[in-house]
Amino acid sequence: MQSDRATSTAVYDAALAAAPYGVFTCAADGTFEEVNPAYEQLTGYPADELIGRMTFHALHDPAELTKRSGELPGATTEPLHSRYEGEWFYVRSNHVRTPVMLALAPFGEGRLRYVGIVIDMSRYAQSEARLWYVSHHDNITRLPNQNLFTERLDLTIARGRRSGSGFSVLVVELNQMRKLRDALGSNAAELVLQIAGERLRGLVPYDGTIASLGGMQFALLVDATGPAVDALADAVLARIGEPINFLDTTLNVKASIGIAGFPSDGDDAPTLMRRASVALSSMKGAGMNGVQRFSPSLERQAARRFELETMLRDAIDRDQLHLVYQPQVTLATGHIAQVETLLRWQHPSRGLISPAEFVPVAEETGMIERIGEWVMRNACRDASRILRLTGKLPRVAVNVSPQQFRRQNLLAMIESALHDAALDPSYLEVEITEGVLLGGTDEALKTLHALRDLGVEVAVDDFGTGYSSLAYLTRFPLNRLKIDRSFIVRMADDAQSAALVGAIIAMAHALKLRVTAEGVETPEQAQRLAELGCDEAQGFWFARPLNATALRNLLEPMSAEMGDGDEGEPGGA
């Protein structure tokens, strides 16, 4: 029996010593009788300074103990006859306050005693603080995220309702960040976001809030309205617009800002954020960098955009989309070298809807992939029909969006479209933007080589408008550059634009690439381009876009004039 009792005592002592949490026993008045090593470590006091000399009350924060003394058993309170748990602050031997969880339970026969378990909560508090920070801050900019911004916005609204004071919400979006990411990679995009965040942080007043909404947007909450907010918005545009250096490349970032004010534009957080975003979308939709305040008319425009998105989803199924073809003329001979495929939307009740209005909607919603495939298949089908009827066909150029180009099945889709239309690949040209070449270059290079191996030609559209380096032209299997119309329009009045056009033509020819000028609308522009050695031109001066029937009628007399000896050669009309 004594052996069993000794074994039990040894096991108890070993368990007490190994316990991961602080454990003590004490008399009814709280005087320590026994403590384990974990309790010594937690409190900073050795056992010989605790046992028989101190009560467990003495380790509690004195101010807190005074307020809550009735909760704990002791010499001056009623004994504890049931279990107790509570959160307290201990004061360690080094005078540091530490949050703890204290659990007490009575035990003993005849003489009342207590066993206590104490858990250090500081490490849990630190973990909770870290979790709170991660869940309330953006991991790239380290700014408050939308969750925290909404909490602060709700508090500001409540204060504004009490005081009757106004404030403003600004939503700031960095423009063309997707193009920058495609051109220079995600590291450049993250650097721009971080620098923009720091610049904004330096502009927001001490009592304001700045947050990252994710993607390329920031939100500002400032206790100001009227001219003061206008001045802040102008300062934001100027500060963000300052050059950023990335790997010896100078980045010039622009921004758009939407503003909504309390209480004039809304008196709750969702309404204010939505209306600031509506104002922002209006500025972006106009293709501008600047500031837009919310107004009811903008909300009506937003409703129109939503309606447009809904209608666009049905446009293909309801046969409302159709294609037109704009000739690209060889300047030296006047012959049609290519035709560019252009998309048109004829709504039964709304009439003709401009591509400038619906194509951005298609891109933003992801519908551009389905529409792009429809365009490719129908362009190949029209081209095959024209070739059979006239015996002559210029090369047909079809734009491929960056979203389409990033899909793994692009090549298979083009092969399928050509096969279904029984069209030789040499009659097809794919037009891509510079951003396609600079985002994921290995995959882009692989896809372009596959297209060229198939016999499809490749042109770079809107050349000169991106973040690109001309070095990529030597890496990719290209056939043609299309100079953006913005350079052509300025060429007559701006010597630098004319010089740049001439330099692009000379460079392209050195790389054995053909050059097509877009947006040629005057004979002077056509003459100047011919003098600079430009190969082809496209614009209203030569021809407006034609439907497939009109294009066939245009090609038939040309085919008759040129005879049948070269029938079937692409680009010969």
Flag whether pLDDT at 467 surpasses 80. Answer: no
Indicate the pTM of the whole model: 0.58
- Give the number of C-alpha atoms closer than 13 A to the C-alpha of residue 480, restricted to the C-beta side: 28
Which tokens is 222 given?
């400032």
Pairing of strands 336-347, 395-399: parallel
- How does residue 566 score in pLDDT terms, banded at 50, 70 and 90? very low
List the beta bridge partners of residue 27. 113
Maximum alpha-carbon separation in the chain: 123
- How does residue 470 score in pLDDT terms, banded at 50, 70 and 90? low
Question: Looking at residue 567, what is its pLDDT?
Answer: 42
Question: Looking at residue 287, what is its pLDDT?
Answer: 56
Q: pLDDT tens, 398-418?
A: 999 888 887 778 899 999 999
Q: Give CA–CA dist 534/337, Å, rounded.
A: 13
* Better-predicted residue by pLDDT, 560 or 344: 344
Flag whether pLDDT at 163 surpasses 50. Answer: yes
Question: Looking at residue 10, what is its pLDDT?
Answer: 79
- How does residue 182 score in pLDDT terms, banded at 50, 70 and 90? confident
> Of 379, 166, 117, nearest to 265 (Cα)?
166
Dihedral pair phi/psi, residue 108, rounded to 5°? 105, 145
Question: Looking at residue 401, what is its pLDDT?
Answer: 86
Question: What is the arithmetic mean of pLDDT over 498-514?
Answer: 90
Q: Which DSSP symbol is given to 87? A: E
Residue 206, C-beta contacts closer than 8 angstroms, at least 6 positions apart: none
SS3 of residue 55 by DSSP: strand
Q: Which DSSP symbol is given to 185? A: -
Confirm if 330 and 518 have CB atoms less than 8 A apart.
Answer: no
Question: Looking at residue 469, what is its pLDDT?
Answer: 52
Q: pLDDT tens, 258-293?
A: 999 999 999 999 999 999 998 998 877 655 678 999
SS3 of residue 424 by DSSP: coil
Q: Where are the beta strands (DSSP E) in 309-448?
A: 321-330, 336-347, 351-353, 395-399, 428-432
Question: Looking at residue 453, what is its pLDDT?
Answer: 94
Flag whether pLDDT at 223 surpasses 70. Answer: yes
* Better-predicted residue by pLDDT, 456 or 359: 456
Q: pLDDT tens, 47-69?
A: 999 999 999 999 999 988 888 87
- How does residue 4 score in pLDDT terms, banded at 50, 70 and 90? low
- Lowest mean pLDDT, pick from 5-14, 22-31, 191-200: 5-14
Question: Looking at residue 24, what is its pLDDT?
Answer: 95
Question: Looking at residue 392, what is its pLDDT?
Answer: 87
Tell me what the pLDDT averaged over the chain comes to: 86
The domain 312-485+544-562: what is its CATH number?
Answer: 3.20.20.450
Most confident of 138-147, 176-185, 354-363: 138-147
User: Mind spelling out the 3-state secondary structure of 228-253?
Assistant: HHHHHHHHHHHHHCCCEEECCEEECC
Q: Give CA–CA dist 438/183, Å, rounded.
A: 4
Question: Looking at residue 408, what is its pLDDT?
Answer: 74
Question: Looking at residue 491, what is its pLDDT?
Answer: 85
Question: What is the arithmetic mean of pLDDT over 425-443?
Answer: 80
- How does residue 364 score in pLDDT terms, banded at 50, 70 and 90? confident
Task: Kindly list the domain boundaries of the chain, sorted by start residue.
Answer: 2-125, 137-294, 312-485+544-562
* Better-predicted residue by pLDDT, 132 or 341: 341
Question: What is the arithmetic mean of pLDDT over 66-88?
Answer: 77
Confirm if 570 and 551 have CB atoms less than 8 A apart.
Answer: no
Question: Looking at residue 568, what is its pLDDT?
Answer: 43
Question: Looking at residue 288, what is its pLDDT?
Answer: 65
* Burial class (CB within 10 angstroms; exposed 0-12, middle 13-18, buried 19+) of 426: middle
SS3 of residue 22 by DSSP: strand
List the beta bridge partners of residue 174. 255
Domain 2-125 has CATH 1.10.10.60: no
Question: Looking at residue 74, what is its pLDDT?
Answer: 67
Return the number of other C-beta atoms located less than 10 Å from residue 135's C-beta. 10
Q: Which CATH superfamily is domain 137-294 in?
A: Reverse transcriptase/Diguanylate cyclase domain (3.30.70.270)
Which tokens is 55 given?
């009560």
> Of 76, 95, 68, nearest to 29 (Cα)?
76
Question: Looking at residue 281, what is its pLDDT?
Answer: 83
Flag whether pLDDT at 187 surpasses 60. Answer: yes
